[in-house]
Amino acid sequence: MATISDVAKLAGLSRSTVSRVLNNYPHVSEEKKKLVTEAMKELEYYPNSSARILRSQKTNTIAVFIPMLTNPFFSYLLEGIDTVATENGFRLLVCQTRYNPEKELQYFKLLKSKQVDGIILTSIENSWNDIKGYASCGPVVICNEYAAGANVPNVRLDQVYGGYIGTRHLIEKGHRRIAYCRGSFQSGIAKDREKGYQQAMTEYGLTIEEGWYFRTAADYHDGKRVMRQMFDMRERPTAVFTGSDQVAAGIIFEAKQLGLNVPQDIAVIGFDDQPIAEMIVPQITTIRQPVHEIGESAMRLMISIILEREAPDKKPPLGLDLIVRAST
Amino acid sequence: MATISDVAKLAGLSRSTVSRVLNNYPHVSEEKKKLVTEAMKELEYYPNSSARILRSQKTNTIAVFIPMLTNPFFSYLLEGIDTVATENGFRLLVCQTRYNPEKELQYFKLLKSKQVDGIILTSIENSWNDIKGYASCGPVVICNEYAAGANVPNVRLDQVYGGYIGTRHLIEKGHRRIAYCRGSFQSGIAKDREKGYQQAMTEYGLTIEEGWYFRTAADYHDGKRVMRQMFDMRERPTAVFTGSDQVAAGIIFEAKQLGLNVPQDIAVIGFDDQPIAEMIVPQITTIRQPVHEIGESAMRLMISIILEREAPDKKPPLGLDLIVRAST
DNA sequence: TTGTATGCGTTATCAC
DNA sequence: GTGATAACGCATACAA
């Protein structure tokens, strides 16, 4: 592999001049520039990244912590993050935590060892107390989640409202016995939605039975299980609020298996408006989240923080304009 | 941030000794080792990655080229790749080509600029002629695809067979007018499946009408479109072979919309056995590919190539044992 | 406008 | 068993 010295030698110039051409510096004569360009082409020269990084202390790489790649919600989120990253010349290092706190802490070392310029968290598996030590040595942005005590930038929607409008929708359809599903792990947004659910129920003077809470429902198969559990209840709920369209799909599938009519016997409301929501019959009523946009905003936020670090004087014009778009 | 020199200074030793401790070298007295370890802890020292990379010429990072993260097939593939990568201390740089040839060529520069140790291709957007220049400067593994003229390692299943058994299944169910769907881009595996389709049809003495070929069907919405097109045909096919469960799902949805019974009026066979295949009603008959295992094998292959480069003498024990598991 | 010299943080090769 | 030193490839302050 050719180095900058090889190019300099072939062009009959110094390494600095080559470097200047490489980085589009002004004050380089056209003549020398051409000489350098030709030499680079001749040698098929590509600047060595690690050397550049070591020198500049910038990796142009962002780590994205994701619980599970195969969860469609997160792949759409990642897609949004990637869109903005690519546009701005950033690379993405994918870190699957697999809901594992230790893995998460492990990945934080990427920041310590300067392998990435920043970290975007799309889930949080540890208490913020255990994390905050890492967050101090580089920009961390939390995306679609939040943690008690975390004082880092944060992009997310009003999930209390999401839980509220979903539940209200069911109540207005005439339901009184409404169950509530969410994933198992400690999640700020799940708690918020639960708050919204309770808020709506209270507002309409409805009391919640403890048996209506299903707090370990994260995917399609969980949904099926929940439906079977509900089926066996003496007085079963007539509607369910779920934290994801996957769970909703599972419930609907199993309901049909059990000979129930959806939504007459059991009404289901999903979350996120993922493709699956319109693929099954009947289609799932769902709360749309602009997942892609959330991802984009998180990355934009990250970039603006990085730019600000480099040039603390000029504030970058950042426009965060997320809104809840509900389509029940 | 503390450097190795800071640690050396605090421990009252030389950088070399610190480095030796860091890399678990033998011939370091327990006494000094303890001294170093304590100093490292005291200073919260983390070795700088780029410096290490610059020195060692190894990034421990693999780039994975993927057309679209939101395509479930690829997220499962990526998940498989990630599993083995993580187990072996490798990082993954995700490169979404978005089916764009130029983006793909752009990403190949990662290898040239030594930002990654190797590249795993899960799709190919350029002719191999345009790519081969890049493939020469580092290990490239093709995963679940192949390209004419490419002489690089390759992990994939027998897609001719896949096309064959799928079509044969439909024929044995009594179908004679069988349509064929595949994605639009140049793909070796799509061509192979088509070959298998033709092979089965010929074997049973059936002739194929040109109108039965749908060569731009890649996702759910394409499936819906294809179904509408078929619906308008004078003599429409009674069965369809599709290249993905997404397309199959679209066809089934639209068929039901149009008042057709599945599979009585129109039988559909999918590919990959993705979650969606069992989520809809009726469930999709599909050809299972062990996607996760394919990804794992590709990464294992990559690692074995890298190891061999480092130590050309000792051949690593690589066990590639992919088999076609059909569950129609 | 161009060249010289230095340092980014490590590791490997020598000496001792 | 330990330490000094060079080198990895590049970018920049400074000198010319």
Which of A53, A69, A220 would best serve as a mutation to test chain B binding (most B beta carbons within 10 A)?
A69
User: Residue A136 CB closer than 7 angstroms to strand D?
Assistant: no
Q: Do B70 and A70 touch (CB under 8 A)?
A: no
* B280 vs A76, A94, A280: nearest CB: A280
C8: residue with closest CA to C1': A55
Which is it for strands B140-143 and B118-121: parallel, antiparallel or unpaired? parallel
pLDDT band of B282, cuts 50, 70, 90 = confident
* B220 vs A1, A220, A279: nearest CB: A279
**Topology at the third CATH level for domain B159-288:** Rossmann fold (3.40.50)
How many angstroms separate the CA of residue A247 from the nearest CA in chain B? 11
Note if the bond before A282 is cis, omega within 30 degrees.
yes
Give the distance, in angstroms, between residue A264 CA and nucleotide D13 C1': 77
* A49 vs B44, B79, B113: nearest CB: B113
Position A147 scores a pLDDT of 85
pLDDT band of B185, cuts 50, 70, 90 = low
**A window 52-81: Cβ near strand D (< 7 A):** 52, 54-56
Domain boundaries, chain B: 4-55, 59-156+291-316, 159-288
How many angstroms separate the CA of residue A263 from the nearest CA in chain B? 16
Which residues on chain B place their C-beta less than 8 Å from a C-beta of chain A?
Answer: 1, 44, 46-51, 53-54, 59, 61, 68-70, 72, 75-76, 78-79, 82, 86, 91-94, 96, 109, 112-115, 137, 220, 249, 253, 256, 275-276, 279-281
Q: Is the pLDDT at B325 greater than 90, yes or no?
A: no
Q: Per residue of chain A (328 residues), give pLDDT as tens.
A: 899 999 999 999 999 999 999 999 888 899 999 999 999 999 999 999 999 999 999 999 999 999 999 999 999 999 999 999 999 999 999 999 999 999 999 999 999 999 999 999 999 999 999 998 888 889 999 999 988 888 889 998 889 999 999 999 999 999 999 999 998 767 888 889 999 999 999 999 999 999 999 999 988 999 999 999 999 999 999 999 998 999 999 999 999 999 999 989 999 999 998 999 989 888 899 998 999 999 999 999 999 999 888 765 554 443 322 222 222 2
Q: Please tell me the distance from the alpha carbon of residue B176 to that of residue B207, in angstroms, as a whole number.
A: 9
Give the distance, in angstroms, between residue A32 CA and nucleotide C2 C1': 10
Q: Please tell me the distance from the alpha carbon of residue B91 to that of residue A304, in angstroms, as a whole number.
A: 26
B4-55: CATH number: 1.10.260.40
- State which residue of chain B sits closest to A48, comparing Cα positions: B113
Q: Which helix (H) or strand (E) holds B267?
A: strand B267-272
Q: What's the pLDDT tens digit per position in B190-206?
A: 889 999 999 999 999 99
Domains B59-156+291-316 and B159-288 share a fold: yes
Per cent of chain B over pLDDT 90 is 76
Position A185 scores a pLDDT of 67
* A94 vs B49, B82, B275: nearest CB: B82
Give the closest nucleotide to B8 (alpha carbon vs C1'): D3
User: Residue B59 CB closer than 7 angstroms to strand D?
Assistant: no
B59-156+291-316: CATH number: 3.40.50.2300
How many angstroms separate the CA of residue B83 from the nearest CA in chain A? 9
Position B195 scores a pLDDT of 94
Position B316 scores a pLDDT of 43
Q: Is the pLDDT at B324 greater than 50, yes or no?
A: no
Tokens in use for A193? Answer: 């939605």
How many angstroms separate the CA of residue A253 from the nearest CA in chain B? 7
Q: Do B113 and A46 touch (CB under 8 A)?
A: yes
Q: Among all chains, which residue has been given the structure tokens 């400690």?
A: A186
Show contacts of A105-110: CB within 8 Å, 24+ apart: A105/A130, A105/A131, A105/A134, A107/A63, A107/A65, A108/A134, A109/A134, A109/B46, A110/A63
Rg value, chain B, Cα: 26
Position A312 scores a pLDDT of 59
pTM score, whole prediction: 0.92
Tokens in use for A214? Answer: 């299903």
CB B194 within 8 A of CB B163: yes
Q: Do B82 and A93 touch (CB under 8 A)?
A: no
Residue A178: which of A156, A192, A163 has the closest Cα? A163
